[in-house]
Amino acid sequence: MANVSTPEVFATDAPEATVEVDAGAGKHIEPELWGLAPFQVVSIAMLVLLLFAIFGAKVHKTIARGLDGKIAAIKEQLEEAKQLRAEAEALRKEYADKIAGAEKDAEAMLVNARHEADAILEKAEADSKAMVERRKRMAEDKIAAAEREAVEDVRNRAVVAATGASRKLIAERHDAEADKALADKVIASI
């Protein structure tokens, strides 16, 4: 067997009070904290914990109130965000409806403009046909008037020529006696 040696304990400046327990082979020294045994340290720690639980509950309540206040503020912000989102959705829907309405209005305006353009085109065609007819009638009237003038001019010239020829013939074939007989005939018929 090996040589079993006992552990050496070194003392510091001031010797602490220790409790020696005989365990057979050697001496056992209980640990101490500030001169208190372990069960005393545990008792004091439990007492501090209980005092903290009793009197520190007020701190807990204050912390809980602060957290509740923050929770209420966050809930309020969430409600406000929900309300703002609902308003944004309503605005988006309103503008989408306005856009759809504007597109319908634009389409209706386009259809209306096409109808008006067709009506204007038809009216212009009708007006141009009427104007062509008027101009045709005016041209025909001018042609007829020119023909009448030409016929009248030809008649007048024919009358002038016939009159001139009659005078010439009468002058050649008629003498003073024939004039006297003709004048007597005209006077007798009156």
pLDDT digits (tens, 9 = 90+) for 171-184: 777 777 777 887 88
Is residue 50 in a domain? yes
- Domain-located, residue 65: yes
Per residue in 101-132, pLDDT (tens digit) is 898 999 999 999 999 999 999 999 999 999 99
Rounded (10°) CA dihedral 71, 75, 76, 78: 140
Whole-structure pTM value: 0.34
Burial of residue 90 (number of CB atoms within 10 Å: 0-12, 13-18, 19+) = exposed
Is residue 130 assigned to a domain?
no
Domain ranges, residue 53: 20-71
Q: How many CB atoms lie within 10 A of CB 174?
A: 13
Q: Would 58 be classed as within a structural domain?
A: yes
Domain assignment of residue 62, yes or no: yes
Q: How many domains does the chain have?
A: 1
pLDDT at 35: 79
| 66 lies in some domain | yes
Domain-embedded: residue 189:
no
* pLDDT band at residue 57 using 50, 70 and 90 as cut-offs: low
The neighbouring-strand residues paired with 27 are 22
What's the pLDDT score for residue 91? 94
In a domain, 43, yes or no: yes
